[in-house]
Chain A
Amino acid sequence: MTKLPPWVDIVVIPLISLLLALIVSGLVIVYIGENPFEAISIMVNGAVGSAYGWGYTLYYATNFIFTGLAVAVAYQARLFNIGGEGQAAIGGLGVALVCLALPWPHWTIALVAATIGGAVFGAAWAAIPAYLQAKRGSHIVITTIMFNFIASALMVYLLVNVLKKPGSMSPETARFPEGAFLPNAYDMFWWLGFSRSAPLNITFFVAILCCVLVYLLIWRTRLGYEIRAFGQSESAAVYAGINPVRITMITMLISGGLAGLMGINAVMGEAERLVTDPVQGAGFVGIAVALMGRNHPVGVFLAGLLFGMLYQGGGELEFEIPAVSREMILVIQALVILFTGALDNMVRMPFEALFSRLRKAEG
């Protein structure tokens, strides 16, 4: 196999895949009787055409980076954590409990405490499936997805019976105290044209920090090496003296903690109160983000950004053209995953053939 020049590998091939996905999406839009060029331009403009769009795009991207990192870390140990949805919801619960516990004097203290709260709750929710996998061999895919349902039932129960604001009709907590409001894009970057409406907040930088920390952990520490070794071959890892129970537990706790951190963004940063479903499918999008980002923090960041754009652009499209329903947006997102992830080789192979021919001609 010929090695491709990096610029082709990283830039040209994903762009062509994306283009193919957009062409097929366009055909679907033509099929339902709308103008595909108008639709694409609404999507692109809605996502990145204004400060308003960027505010939402980066907000969604922050969610997807957290859940994507969660899947990516677990995948390094070849544990397929598809419970991001439940872990993030319970993480949000942890964040809400922390925010409501005290009249926080300043957001910096509240942010640190909420980070711990979200991570601990998310990790705790991942701990039971992890234990069952490590000790009992119950498959992590089955247990984590089942825990999503338990999490959603638990959230409904708590919000309806325990945490509901007295006198309120909706199942939601009271609004957090003012000291727990995170600075949003308007507070920080008003000079870039963000309006007060932007849900983007300081958590975006926490997400970037998490990308860096995950990189350092996986590729620069002994624990990371153990995780990767365990993932490559469990028997070889055991032979080398790595404890499989310990690695399974630690990896899943980190993974669940990362998913739980999404709660800071969605619950503390945006809603400023807890609702029954703060995650809104981001846990599952995280799987696609991790796969597309090749389970590397840089890839997860870029894929998270792309999905943020698709999500926000899709929302605008749904708003502007009512004929394009929520499900249509899902189809478009699925096509992008299909072309950039699953059908990657379809684009790659002709390029490899082309470059090997070029080299032969040179040599």
Chain B
Amino acid sequence: MSLMKTFLSAGAALAISAVAALAEPGLIIDLGGKFDKSFNESAYNGAKRWVDETGGSYIETELQSEAQREQNMRKMAERDANPIVVLGFANGSTLEKVAPDYPDTSFAIVDMVVDAPNVKSIVFSEHEGSYLVGLIAGMKSETGTVGFVGGMDVPLIRKFACGYAQGVLAANPDAKVISSMTGTTPSAWNDPVKGGELAKAQVSQGADVIYAAAGGTGVGILQAAADEGVFSIGVDSNQNYLHPGSVLTSMLKRVDNAVYEVFSAGAEGFEPGIAVLDLESEGVGYAVDENNEALITDDITAAVDEAKAKIISGEIEVHDYTSDDSCPALTF
């Protein structure tokens, strides 16, 4: 609402010309809500950063249901938003259908590859970032058992789990990784209660570090870990501040940077094709701030920095689950 007010007041003060309005970028927030403290919020923060820095405005809409995908995407395009950023793999098939109808509009999709001349596909090397936080988890765990709670059981989330398990085993070859998924439908992205239950079940199996890769569901997982007195690892956004002392670190996936860059490039600077954001380009990483710096000891930092350098140089190759739908370190 405050955003809309900003628009309205800006509109009243400047009487934005039609030309300026035409160039407004658009952002479609996916299911799970704008303030999921994770994936969507990261995208929103990127858009907000662009607004704060350029003083521009953008069109934003939030999906409420699966069936709105197509209409909202078309509505954005009909409103001449350009470029339009859509979030999440679930939009892939819809975008494949919509993009050819609007050849003059540029689309960017996060987490999915759509092959069309006016689409930029932004994918992240989540397995690399997850490897680093797995390394931290493996070094921090005292029981030798760590947990992973995913959102929807899809190859993308298994990619997180697989990278994480490889990191854990690199730190402690005898460690046990327990993996659970919240569900098989998109509602699994926004089910904090079930996420919390899964986390508690893992704690009862001995897990003392739990990595949540589950969008809005993660809030419940981190809460349960804090309640049970074990460590947790956040995802996508920096979630360290949610439970200082309990959240060990967060696997950063810089969706905010991706959105910011697409918005900044605008329609003129738009480059279609596939963009892979990995460790080297700082598209993924792990978060250290005042909330968790006491937890990350110097030898952990040293080990992680070394692994990071080795991954970038190619010395360590983290297996990507989606490349062959299998994982050497973890069975699902």
**Given A170-B92, A175-B93, list of 15 further CB < 8 A pairs?**
A156-B184, A169-B90, A169-B154, A170-B154, A171-B184, A171-B185, A171-B186, A273-B93, A275-B66, A276-B185, A277-B65, A278-B67, A315-B71, A315-B75, A326-B64
Q: Within the complex, which residue of A56, A197, A277 is in contact with B66, where a contact is CB–CB below 8 Å?
A: A277
Q: Could you mark each residue 26-60 of chain A with 1 if its beta carbon is under 8 Å from any beta carbon of chain B, else 0?
A: 00000000000000000000000000100010000
Cα separation A277 to B31 with both chains bound (whole Å): 14
A85 close to chain B: CB less than 8 A: no
A321 close to chain B: CB less than 8 A: yes
Chain A residue nearest in CB terms to B61: A319
A170 in contact with B65 given A197-B74, A321-B4, A322-B3 (CB within 8 Å): no
Cα separation A26 to B74 with both chains bound (whole Å): 28
Cα separation A52 to B154 with both chains bound (whole Å): 35
B156 close to chain A: CB less than 8 A: yes
A197 in contact with B61 given A322-B4, A323-B1 (CB within 8 Å): no
B104 close to chain A: CB less than 8 A: no
Residues of chain B within 8 A of A197, CB atoms compared: 74, 77-78, 98, 101
The tally of residues in A whose CB lies under 8 Å from a CB in B reads: 30
Cα separation A200 to B290 with both chains bound (whole Å): 55
Residues of chain A within 8 A of B112, CB atoms compared: 169
Residues of chain A within 8 A of B184, CB atoms compared: 156, 160, 171
Cα separation A60 to B178 with both chains bound (whole Å): 46
Residues of chain B within 8 A of A156, CB atoms compared: 184-185
Q: Could you mark each residue 313-346 of chain A with 1 if its beta carbon is under 8 Å from any beta carbon of chain B, else 0?
A: 0011001011100100000000000000000000
Residues of chain B within 8 A of A199, CB atoms compared: 70-71
Is B4 a contact partner of A275 (Cβ separation < 8 A)? no
Is A170 a contact partner of B78 (Cβ separation < 8 A)? no
The tally of residues in B whose CB lies under 8 Å from a CB in A reads: 32
Cα separation A315 to B76 with both chains bound (whole Å): 13
State the main secondary structure of chain A at its contact with B: loop
Residues of B within 8 A of A (CB): 1, 3-4, 60-62, 64-68, 70-72, 74-75, 77-78, 89-90, 92-93, 97-98, 101, 112, 154-156, 184-186
Q: Could you mark each residue 243-282 of chain A with 1 if its beta carbon is under 8 Å from any beta carbon of chain B, else 0?
A: 0000000000000000000000000001111011110100
Is A172 a contact partner of B93 (Cβ separation < 8 A)? yes
Residues of chain B within 8 A of A172, CB atoms compared: 93
Chain A residue nearest in CB terms to B100: A196
| Shortest Cβ distance from residue A281 to the other chain B in the assembled complex, whole angstroms | 9
Residues of chain B within 8 A of A316, CB atoms compared: 75
| Shortest Cβ distance from residue A104 to the other chain B in the assembled complex, whole angstroms | 18
Chain B residue nearest in CB terms to A169: B154
Is B67 a contact partner of A275 (Cβ separation < 8 A)? yes
Cα separation A169 to B155 with both chains bound (whole Å): 7
Cα separation A271 to B68 with both chains bound (whole Å): 11
Q: Could you mark each residue 150-185 of chain A with 1 if its beta carbon is under 8 Å from any beta carbon of chain B, else 0?
A: 000000100010000000111110010000000000
Q: Within the complex, which residue of B60, B64, B97, B154 is in contact with A272, where a contact is CB–CB below 8 Å?
A: B97
Chain B residue nearest in CB terms to A164: B184
Cα separation A323 to B4 with both chains bound (whole Å): 8
Chain B residue nearest in CB terms to A315: B71
| Shortest Cβ distance from residue B154 to the other chain A in the assembled complex, whole angstroms | 4
